[in-house]
Structure 1
Amino acid sequence: MSQIIIEHNPSEERLQELGVSEWPIWEKEVSKFTIDFDETETAYVLDGEILVTPTGGEAVRIVPGDLVIFQAGLDSHWEVVKPLRKHYHYD
């Protein structure tokens, strides 16, 4: 099973159901870094573009309107291609 799950352009109802508008916002400038997830994060991208490459896997492109689940245990390399703004929530 993939450690990165993307739901493209979820409905407004789905976002309300999850309470996305209440989640904090994280911003990051264009940069490259690693993130190792020790808990599952759900994120909703507002602006920007990122390429997330799981260790030993293929790069995944994430853009505005994507609802993304990063599974606990995911070790990944991030390349922020365009300045990022996203809501995020930990399970």
Structure 2
Amino acid sequence: MSAITIEHQPSEARLKELGVGHWPIWEKEASEFPLDFDETETAYVLEGEIIVTPVGGEPVRIVPGDLVVFPEGLETDWQVVKPLRKHYRHG
């Protein structure tokens, strides 16, 4: 299973190319919960901080300005450290 991939501070051109500004926004208060991905999700973090730990893997810290890909089939535990606000796209 592939891992979480993070692109730190992608350019405005890259975000525009992906259409990130048109993706829906998801918000979550500080909390901890399991999250399994039944399809690939690409997310761009606007606010907050999360620590995502793949089952059997190392924790990954994700902060504003990160463009993140969570692959299909990934099983994770999420710790929302600071309230989260992110754009996301499935598939």
**TM range, normalised to the smaller chain?**
over 0.9
Where does residue 64 of structure 1 map in the other structure?
64
1:55 paired residue number: 55
SS at match of 1:57: coil
Question: How far apart are residue 2 of structure 1 and its match?
Answer: 3.9
Deviations 1:35-88 (CA, angstroms, capped at 9, x unpaired)? 010100000000000000000000000000000000001000000000000000
Identity of aligned residues (%): 73
Query: What is the TM-score when the length of structure 1 is the normalising length?
Result: 0.98
Any stretches of 5+ residues in structure 2 without a counterpart?
Answer: none
Q: Once the 2 structures are TM-superposed, how far is the Cα of residue 3 of structure 1 from its aligned partner?
A: 1.9
Question: What do you get for the CA RMSD once the two structures are aligned?
Answer: 0.8
Matched, 1:20 2:37: no
Cα distance between partner residues in 2 of 1:2 and 1:59: 15
* Count of residue pairs the alignment pairs up: 91
The gaps in structure 1 that reach 5 residues or longer are none
Q: TM-score, normalised by structure 2?
A: 0.98
Q: CA-to-partner distance for each residue in 1:2-54, whole Å, 9 max, x for gaps? A: 42000000000000000000000000000000001010000000000000000
Would you identify which runs of 4 or more consecutive aligned residues in structure 1 move more than 4 Å? none
Q: Does 1:78 align with 2:78?
A: yes
